[in-house]
Amino acid sequence: MKIRTALCATLAVLTACAGTSAAAPTSSTGPDRAALKAAVEGVREAGVPGLYAEVRAFGGGVGDAGRTWRGASGVADLGTGRPVRPDMRHRVGSVTKTFTAVAVMQQTERGRIRLDDPIGDHLPALVPGERGRKITVRMLLNNTSGIPDYIPYAFPSLQEFPAPTAAQSLDDNRFRTFRPPELIALGLAAPPVGEPGAATGVYSNTNYLLLGQLLEHVTGTTAEEYITRHVIARAGLRNTEFPSGTRIDGPHSRMYEALYGVLDPPRDYSVYDMSWTGTGAALVSTTEDLNRFYAELLDGGLVNRRSLTEMQRTIPVRALDGSTIQYGLGLHKVTVPGCGTFWGHDGTVWGARTMSLTRADGKRQMSVGINLERWNRPDSSGQPQHHPIDDALSTLYRTAMCTTTPEPSS
């Protein structure tokens, strides 16, 4: 069966989880520190080994002086009991896609790429023939190319879920180095998931590996190097990087993968060759850096206003969990009742989950990382079931984005 992510713990269904109970912002924009601390503890108590978060609140627009809350709860290592810290580095998964999209938009501003260029004009060997003529750069960015995800083919044992052997590919690929063309070929060889330019897209990591190859083609350097120099450095991020090996440099947590009960106890995959996901999901970062990145992006510091408008032009896209999300060019749009519209991305890799959202007016930011993934156990039919962690994460996200406390009077 198709492996689905946890209900009400992903960005795709955040609005449904928030519901109408989300508190509207008060006249003060200060985060409710006591409520945030309680919400973070609630996620740990629900079963997550450790998590770290940063919430920023601003009195005006992005870049104005604001108030920041950082918190962490639980352990980074179940064996030693080493505690997590708010500044720990973390594999942020598909949040990487926004970085890659920014790099592509920078190249459109320089005239090296046009959004409606057929990808076959740039990469004819990778996407030949009619497909290369029909699929455009824009379709890769907004997931309307119709190219399926390569992951079920690079990790074939996942197709055996819920059998105990479903995790075998995770171990087989731990130290394997993939080349992007190899993974792209797997996606292109699979049956298409839609027609190029369809009104509703289908989320696919293959699209973002192709964008990485496009960046390499037009810049003359690797996509990772270009993104490092022109996106990460330009945003002033000090703890964000593409890993150079299988280990994360600097303070970090172990990362525990449960694979919906197949791995019991959950297995640590913090040491892993991330070539399996590259420009789609390989970045390491911190919650502080992610908030800084999205603040810079939405304030026009990384791309111009015309490019940002294109990035925020959304269409419905079917996510990997089967739900429908509003997706632009490397950006999710999330509207939370009572709180407003947020922009950002979520991400998962083996053993780690990340959520980073910034309100459209720039007055509230939230980034959260947790060191457990796919905790939902299946029922007799193999369908992953709701878990208390889902509710606890929904409460944390709602508290971080919506709950405020008045500043004490002077």
User: Any idea which residues carry the catalytic annotation?
Assistant: 94
Maximum Cα–Cα distance across the chain: 69
Identity of the residue numbered 380 = S
> Do you know the residue count of the chain?
410
Give, in order, the Cα–Cα distances in Å from 373 to each of 43, 46, 153, 274: 13, 13, 21, 17
Please report the beta strands in 125-229, taking only residues with DSSP state E, as ranges in sequence order. Answer: 201-202
Helix (H, G, I), strand (E, B) or coil at 190: coil
Cβ proximity of 209 and 279 under 8 Å: yes
Angle between helix 96-109 and 205-219 (nearest 10): 40
Question: Which residues have a Cβ under 8 Å from the Cβ of 217 and sit 6 or more positions away?
Answer: 122, 123
**Rounded to 5 degrees, what are φ and ψ at 153?**
-95, -30
Q: Which two tokens stand for residue 247?
A: 């280990």
* Cα 163 to Cα 157: distance, rounded to the nearest angstrom: 9
Helix (H, G, I), strand (E, B) or coil at 38: helix
* CB neighbours of residue 180 within 10 Å: 23
Q: Which two tokens stand for residue 11?
A: 């960005």
**At which residue do the structure tokens 């087989």 appear?**
172
**At which residue do the structure tokens 């479903």 appear?**
166
* Cα 225 to Cα 408: distance, rounded to the nearest angstrom: 47
* Peptide bond connecting 162 to the previous residue in cis, omega within 30 degrees of 0: yes
